[in-house]
Structure 1
Amino acid sequence: MSAARRVLERLLRKGERARLRGQSAPASLPMTGASAVEYLALSTLAEQEDFHAQIRLAERDGAISAQRDRHRDDGQRLLRLTVRDLDVLAQHLGIALLDTRMAEARARLDGWLPRFPVIAEVLDAWAQGKGPGHGPESAVDLADAARVVEARHADAGAERMLRRESIRLLGDSKRLEALTPWLALLIGGEVNASAPEREHVWSALGLRREPQPMLIAGTGTLVVDGTGLPLVRPYLGIPVERLDAVVTGARFLLTIENLASFHDAAACEGAADGLLVYTGGMPSPAWRRACARVLQALPDDVAVYHWGDIDEGGFRIAATLAAAMREVGRAVRPWLMSPQDLAPAEIEAARRPSAAQHAAMLRWAQAAGWPDVAQALTVRPLLLEQEALGARLPPQASAPSDTGSRHLHDRGVDPV
């Protein structure tokens, strides 16, 4: 790109910003080191003549006017460039103005607005020359992301492999990964929300890099494709879509975010008196449906707990779980996710969140239905990964029941 074109494009962008702000005065660019360093860097007569020739062409087209120093040298030295007609300048440079690009973006995205209202906020931001993404040019990416989210919601009962689904939906094995920020925006419904982890975004749509079985430890029998599979130590893994039902006398249910902590909890004394379920990070729609079947096996007085990271992602997962459990009439309690639950040494090992992280943690803790946790974190803000804590299990409030064999018989299921 020539030096003159870089300067003219800079003047065009300045003119666009002035138009967006509603300024009536034409935009101009002083030919100084701060605004037009390319011009001052010209070192040969040929370079200067080429620059001046390109400016004269823009003048002749009626795009700009140029102020020259008529009292020095040959009178051609440029002092200032001013926009005469912004649309003509854009045409001269072969660049579509924001208005044109916005019209194209709206035509591409208007059909998705009823399904994803947040797109209206994105369009408004682009019209003001702001993010997210690269402005209206990102409309193609946002439309592709909307197609993916809609397709995954229509297939919520199954988990799919990330790259295989990317090829199926978009014809490119890596395209879906590149769309992750837009997928997060459509799922979260907020333009300026902090970005969740990539894996959490994919899991929320039922997408995995590799197959992720549902891991369950404790007491009971899993009914998978009509066959009863007794839980074994340390745990049993099954395809998440294949769980028909659970028969158990568990005294509690504990869902666990991270794999290492699940293994530690499964090895605890007393694990056989409850049910421990690994969420695989952010629980997918298929996982949440399977969890609803687990909850159906538990009496109302059996407590349900969740144990995850004490950070923004951990509380986002907790809020997702809480919403899913509310749909089946259950509430989930926090386990080891409040400063009040931690020993002084554990608190000492924690980090302090940024203001943005802290605000998000409080928001998601409230969304999970845990105001006491939010209050405790307000008093003592901290970040602590789940793996930093030793595993310990919730209190076993309800008495064990011996209903497994009878329930299996009632279902016509033969234990293995």
Structure 2
Amino acid sequence: MSAGKARDILGILLDRLERVPERTRQPAERAPADFPSAAERAAFDRLLADAERQGAISVVKGRGEARHLTERIQLRDAARLYEFLGRIPALERARVAASQLQASVEPRHTDAAEARDNIIAGWLRGERPFSISLEQTDQAVEFITALDAVLARDPMDRRDLRTYSGQTTGNTKLLERYASRIVNFLKQAGKLDVYLSDDEAMASLGLEKFSQPVLIAGPVRLAGVDFARLVYVGLPPEQAPMIEPAGAIRSIITIENLASFNRHVREALQANDVAIYTGGFPSRAVAAALVAISRWPGISRIHHWGDIDEGGLRIALHLTSLVPVPVLPHLMNPALARLRGTPAKASRKIELLPSDPWQPLATFLGGDDARFLEQEKIDPEPITTFEAVS
């Protein structure tokens, strides 16, 4: 038992050396003060004495009445201690792991290849890139395989998450298993909004178990079928971008939350208005449908209604980045938040141009008097010709 404790301490000396290989002083570790029995103390001391005779360590004894007790163990010769413990130095293990990773996965996408090379470089520096240690070569192979599958995916590919994962990686759940690491990598690379959750991010990449239907209300038609008389309709994700107007369109509104969408289409939707449910950050299917709708004849703007908070604002700005027409706030203004909202901590500063229609809300949410307001707490109202944003 205590011989094992001695080996643990010797291993700690090498761990500390490997973490800071350029250190000028050899690492040392204090010995335990107490042992369950004299026999276990003796076993502890015997193993340390063997290591000291090999020239691997120096054993420092106590003083006075404690001069017979081991006080501290100091590394003397790392190479001899590696040999004594039968342990391979971290750099050598890193080189072996790097060689295995290099030989095990050949990414198609340049960013995935760069991620693999970053893992190798990190291992050789004694780091754990992407929280993967050099002892976890299998995890590294799986992560790079999953990342490559995501990066190399054709935007028009309509396979669901598990089918796509199984057919491209051989494991139906591999992309789900590494979703967090993949999303973090893409955020750090600037390819995803940093405030997206893992599920939202994967949905925005078109990677869902099965994409949700695109919910839309108003005078629209698809494949010759007119849906104007329905309260709303759920369009198949792969067909949603083919939606067409079934008449003159007065306004377009996107709605963040399902309860508010249901209320709006029943209580506030006007003739010739079109409403689309985004479901928070829009999925790839919703985004594609919005791009198509924004290009309909006569569409010069889109209105958006969501929560008055940082997340709601970022969804609105994301929508703005998707479509070629302005996105204007509906029931999302500081005056309404001051009247009905809840005091909240200021959100992160979002710098927008003074002419941006979302600038007043961004300034308000980033100020000391910020208030948040969930859209479900507000009754739906029709789109008006002009809506104040201040």
1:233 is the counterpart of 2:230: yes
* 1:339 alignment counterpart: 334
Shift of 1:150: 1.6
- The answer as to whether partners of 1:66 and 1:81 remain within 8 angstroms in 2 is yes
* 2:370 alignment counterpart: 381
For this pair of structures, how many residues does the alignment match? 370
Superposed counterparts of 1:75-90, under 5 Å: 75=68, 77-86=69-78, 89=81
Q: Which structure 1 segments of 5+ residues have no match? A: 32-38, 399-416
> Against the structure 1 CA distance between its residues 178 and 316, is the aligned structure 2 distance closer, same or farther, given a 3 Å change threshold?
farther
- The answer as to whether partners of 1:234 and 1:266 remain within 8 angstroms in 2 is yes
Say which SS state the counterpart of residue 366 (structure 2) adopts.
helix
Shift of 1:194: 6.2
CA distance in structure 2 between the partners assigned to 1:97 and 1:263 by the alignment: 59
CA distance in structure 1 between the partners assigned to 2:357 and 2:92 by the alignment: 44
- The one-character-per-residue Cα deviations of 1:202-224 (angstroms, maximum 9, x if unpaired) are 21221224440011012x22223
CA distance in structure 2 between the partners assigned to 1:284 and 1:363 by the alignment: 25
The higher relative CO (CA closer than 8 Å, separation ≥ 6) is in 1
- The answer as to whether partners of 1:157 and 1:286 remain within 8 angstroms in 2 is no
* 1:30 alignment counterpart: 30
**Stretch deviating more after TM superposition (232-241 or 143-152):** 143-152
- The one-character-per-residue Cα deviations of 1:55-82 (angstroms, maximum 9, x if unpaired) are 345445554332233765783x322222
Say which SS state the counterpart of residue 248 (structure 2) adopts.
coil
Look up the equivalent residue of 1:15 and give its one-letter code.
L
> Against the structure 1 CA distance between its residues 124 and 315, is the aligned structure 2 distance closer, same or farther, given a 3 Å change threshold?
farther
Shift of 1:317: 3.1
1:7 is the counterpart of 2:9: yes
* 1:413 alignment counterpart: none
Q: Which structure 2 segments of 5+ residues have no match? A: none
1:392 is the counterpart of 2:381: yes
CA distance in structure 2 between the partners assigned to 1:334 and 1:121 by the alignment: 42
* 2:203 alignment counterpart: 203
- The one-character-per-residue Cα deviations of 1:132-191 (angstroms, maximum 9, x if unpaired) are 524554634541342232243x2x224443334333344444432231221212321259
Superposed counterparts of 1:137-152, under 5 Å: 137=136, 139-140=140-141, 142-152=143-153
* 1:304 alignment counterpart: 302
> Against the structure 1 CA distance between its residues 118 and 151, is the aligned structure 2 distance closer, same or farther, given a 3 Å change threshold?
closer
Shift of 1:277: 0.7
Shift of 1:46: 2.8
- The answer as to whether partners of 1:118 and 1:189 remain within 8 angstroms in 2 is no
CA distance in structure 1 between the partners assigned to 2:376 and 2:318 by the alignment: 21
CA distance in structure 2 between the partners assigned to 1:90 and 1:312 by the alignment: 54
1:49 is the counterpart of 2:42: yes
> Against the structure 1 CA distance between its residues 197 and 41, is the aligned structure 2 distance closer, same or farther, given a 3 Å change threshold?
farther
* 1:40 alignment counterpart: 33
CA distance in structure 1 between the partners assigned to 2:250 and 2:351 by the alignment: 31
* 1:18 alignment counterpart: 20
TM-score (norm 2): 0.78
- The answer as to whether partners of 1:251 and 1:397 remain within 8 angstroms in 2 is no
- The answer as to whether partners of 2:107 and 2:144 remain within 8 angstroms in 1 is no
TM-score (norm 1): 0.73
Say which SS state the counterpart of residue 35 (structure 2) adopts.
coil
- The one-character-per-residue Cα deviations of 1:85-112 (angstroms, maximum 9, x if unpaired) are 4466456363652675388459659968
